[in-house]
Amino acid sequence: MSKKAKGINPELENAINKMMKEIMAYNTATTTEKMRVIDRALKLEQLKMKDADSEWGSGFGLDDDDDK
């Protein structure tokens, strides 16, 4: 069995970057279309952060703010 490569696919990242540049330069694009592309770019950045931080989400459910 082969292991799946870890990290963000560079082709996907490049495609989203290209799409963002094109849609922002397109004068007749609607605000909704532009926001969809921005949302995809933000989601990609969120996934990059999650991938870079091995402890991302590991503290969920822990109560660090104990009332004393």
Q: What is the pLDDT of residue 43?
A: 87
- Over the Cα atoms of the chain, what is R_g? 18
Q: Which of 12, 21, 1 is CA-nearest to residue 51?
A: 12
Size of the chain in residues: 68
- 27 in helix, strand or coil? coil
Helix, coil or strand: residue 5: coil
SS3 per-residue string spanning 6-26: CCCCHHHHHHHHHHHHHHHHC
Q: What is the pTM of this model?
A: 0.57
Q: What percent of the chain has pLDDT over 90?
A: 0
